[in-house]
Amino acid sequence: MAVAKPLLVESERDGERTRLTLVGELDIATVQRLQDAIDAALAEKPAALVVDLRGLGFLDSSGLRQFIVLADRAQQEDWELVLVRPAKAVLSVFQITRVEENLPFVDEPPA
The structure's pTM equals 0.93
Secondary structure letter of residue 56 according to DSSP: E
- Rounded distance between C-alpha atoms, residue 79 and residue 51, angstroms: 13
Q: Is 9 exposed, middle or buried (0-12, 13-18, 19+ CB in 10 A)?
A: buried
Let me know how long the chain is: 111
105-106 sheet: strands from edge to edge: 7-14, 17-26, 48-59, 80-84, 105-106
Residue type, 17: R
List per-residue pLDDT tens for the chain, 111 residues long.
455 568 999 999 999 999 999 999 999 999 999 999 999 999 999 999 999 999 999 999 999 999 999 999 999 999 999 999 999 999 999 999 999 999 999 999 887
**Domains identified in the chain and CATH numbers:** 7-106 (3.30.750.24)
